[in-house]
Structure formats: structure tokens, C-alpha cells
Amino acid sequence: MIKTLLLAGTAAVLLTGAASAADLPRRAAPPPVFTPVPVFTWTGFYAGFNAGYAFDVGNSTANTFVVPNQFTTAPGTTATFRQSSQDGFTGGGQIGYNFQFTPGSGVVVGIEADAQYLDFGRNRTSPIFVGGTAAPGFTVVDPRGLSSLDFFGTVRGRLGYAFDRVLFYGTGGFAYGAGSADRSFGGFRGNDNFRTGWAVGGGVEYALPTDSFLNFFKSSAVTLKVEGLYVNLDRGTRNQGALVVDAGSNVVATSAIGRRDDEFAVVRAGLNYKFGTY
């Protein structure tokens, strides 16, 4: 009997403890950790390279030079240079900086500088003589125009609007260019024809994810762009016109032709590596 009562009492105590434990408040689960998704911004420095196609958009006219008699085989000889339309490959690199006022979508301002190779220099024009030819030991050349342009560069401002990772922009600023005249013209050297002017254009740029397979340099973003530029280079009045060059590459006569602009357009695609904030 006593044994039975002890067992019953023990069972009652155990049941009471279990009931009390069930009534205790349960420990609340920790709240989930929230990691905000970073908002993309175009702010930061960038550098990259580009390649494309350039073509003449200026007026194509023929220039005729009456060669001084002492440098020809017949008096009254003329040399005509055809300013034919030219086109060719262009490629180079660029560096720049963007600042976006509001991350995500918003206005973006920036500045960019680039330097480009041009394939125009391979198509230098040769004269068509009427009445005679150049006297032995002399060469008649015309280093004007795109035929003497081997490279150009620009320093431009940029203004655009970003829709998250897509940026539409306009651009404009200073342009320069030059061409060496030593690849033809009978060995003539020393007339690099450096010229300055302006450029204007626009484009669209898209930022790839940071983990893109193109991100070789572990930058904060890789961007792809397509851009068009109009470039106008003012030749001024120095050495404007055709030249007569002797065997020692000395300019012995020039034609009196004044100011001329070199105009061409560029369509190119580029790849940039952005460094700085995400």
C-alpha cells in the first residue's frame, strides 16, 4: 500500500512539472538577417579601349597647283590632287571619371580623354600632271586633308542620364590630330601637320555585373559602350596647299591655298573597367 502511494505521488509530481514547463514561454527565433542589395552608381574612375570605323564627311574637291616652271619639265605644268573620300579602321584607349548625383537612376556628369590610331594615312593622294611632270630631283606633294592624318585624340565633357545600369549620354569638347608625311612623297619628312579642333557626339553605355567573365582586373564594374563622334580639325594656314620638295626633303615652293577643315565621323564600340564605388 505504501509503495503504491509513493509511486502515485511521484507520477503526480512529474506530471505537474511537465505541465508547468509547457506553460513557460518559448524562446523566440532570431530575426532573419537582412542584407540590402547595393544600388549601382556610375561614380568613379574608369579606363578602357575601343575600336571602330572612321569615314570622311567633308567636302571632297580637287585642288590644282600651278607648279613653278623651274621645278617642271614644261612651262605651265599643273598638278591636281583629288580629295577623294576616305575611310578606315580606328582604335585606341580612353580614361575618364563619372559622377552620378543620385545612385540608381539619375543625372551623370563626367570627363573623358582618348587617343586614337587612324588608318587614313595609308591613302595619301598623288598628283595628276598636265603639261609636263616634276623636274628630276623634285617631288610635288599635297599633305593636306585626311590623307595625312594618322592619329587623333579628344578631351571631352559628358552629360547623361542613367537608368540603373544603362547610361545615355552626350559628349563634346577639344580635339586634336596629326599625321606624318614621311611614308610617301619621295621621302619628304618634317611636316607633321598638327591641328586642333572640336568633337561632338553621343552614345549608350551598359554596366555588366561585377562577376562578369570580362572583369579580368577585378574592378567594381565592366561597362560596354557604343559611341558616335563628329570631329572637325582646323588646319589653320600653315603649309596650306601643295608643296614642291627637293631631293634633300626641303620645301622649295608652296601653293597659296588658305584655311581648310578636316571633318570625319567615328563609330566605335568600347570596353571600360570602372574603379571606385559599386
Whether pLDDT at 158 is above 80 = yes
Which three cell numbers, joined as nine digits, stand for 270?
568600347
Rounded Cα distance, 228 and 172, in Å: 11
Say yes or no to pLDDT of 98 above 90: yes
Contacts of 103 (CB under 8 A, 6+ apart): 39, 40, 41, 43
What local confidence, expressed as pLDDT, does residue 237 receive?
Answer: 46
Q: How confident is the model at residue 182 (pLDDT cuts 50, 70, 90)?
A: very low
Specify which residues 269 forms β-bridges with: 51, 226
Contacts of 240 (CB under 8 A, 6+ apart): 144, 257, 258, 259, 260
Domains of the chain by range and CATH? 42-275 (2.40.160.20)
Q: How many CB atoms lie within 10 A of CB 188?
A: 20
- Candidate ranges 162-176, 216-230, 233-247; pick with highest mean pLDDT: 162-176
Percent of the chain with pLDDT over 90: 41
pTM for the model: 0.71
Residue 198's closest CA among 262, 248, 251? 262
Phi, psi of 252 (to 5 degrees): -110, -10
The arithmetic mean of pLDDT across residues 142-156, rounded, is: 80
Pairing of strands 166-178, 195-208: antiparallel
Given this model, what pLDDT does residue 190 score? Answer: 46
Q: Whole-angstrom Cα distance, residue 223 to residue 271?
A: 6
Q: Are 143 and 192 in contact (CB under 8 A)?
A: no
Query: pLDDT-derived band of residue 77, with 50, 70 and 90 as boundaries?
Result: very high
Spatial strand order of the sheet with 243-246 comes to 138-141, 243-246, 251-254
Lowest-confidence pick of 9-13, 37-41, 184-188: 184-188
pLDDT of residue 56: 85
What is the per-residue pLDDT for 44? 92
Q: What average pLDDT does this structure show over 113-135?
A: 82
Which single residue is written with the C-alpha cell 552629360? 159
Please state, rounded to an integer, the average pLDDT across all residues of the chain: 79
Radius of gyration of the chain (CA): 36
Q: Give bridge partners of residue 170 from the DSSP assignment.
A: 159, 202
Question: What pLDDT is stored for residue 62 in this prediction?
Answer: 65
pLDDT at residue 223 is higher than 60: yes
pLDDT tens string 23-63? 545 566 666 665 556 788 899 999 999 999 999 887 656 67
Q: What pLDDT sits at residue 276?
A: 72
pLDDT band with cut points at 50, 70 and 90 for residue 103? confident
